[in-house]
Homo-oligomer: A and B are copies of this chain.
Amino acid sequence: MAYVDIVTALAVLQFIVFGFKVGQARERYGVQAPATTGHEIFERLFRVQQNTLELLVIFLPGLYLFSRYFNPLWAAALGVVYLVGRQVYAAGYVKDPAKRGPGFALTFLPIVVLLGGGAIGAVRALI
């Protein structure tokens, strides 16, 4: 399980870094709190962080379920794909929001496997 816990910590750290970039962009582009709009690059960085929040909340339960019912090491490996995919997503989105697709797929597919696998494992544990 320690591998899974390290991936958990890395996914959270990645989300924190995305949050810091939003804070930096607030200063650089003069977007005063509480506003969350007003400069295109700020808005892109903000959406990267918000989308990562949405995915973190489904990634962590998926990681846990897959690890519990299948294999912690495979769960951690799928988690590494997620981590790489998020970096690709963030870089693509900031460059051009229309190019966020491939990075999104690379984070979403491992989550589907984690959750689907975990759900199948939980159902099999019942019957």
Contact = CB atoms under 8 A, between A and B. Distances in A.
A122 B12 CA distance: 14
A58 B15 contact: yes
A126 B46 CA distance: 35
Count of chain copies: 3
A43 B33 CA distance: 9
A2 B126 contact: yes
A5 B65 contact: yes
A9 B54 contact: no
Contact of A54 (B53, B60, B62, B69): B53
Nearest to A46: B34
A32 to B, nearest CB: 7
A13 B116 CA distance: 9
B115 A12 contact: yes
Contacts of A6: 119, 122-123, 126
A9 B97 contact: no
Interface string A1-27: 011011011101101100100000000
Contacts of A5: 65, 68-69, 118-119, 122
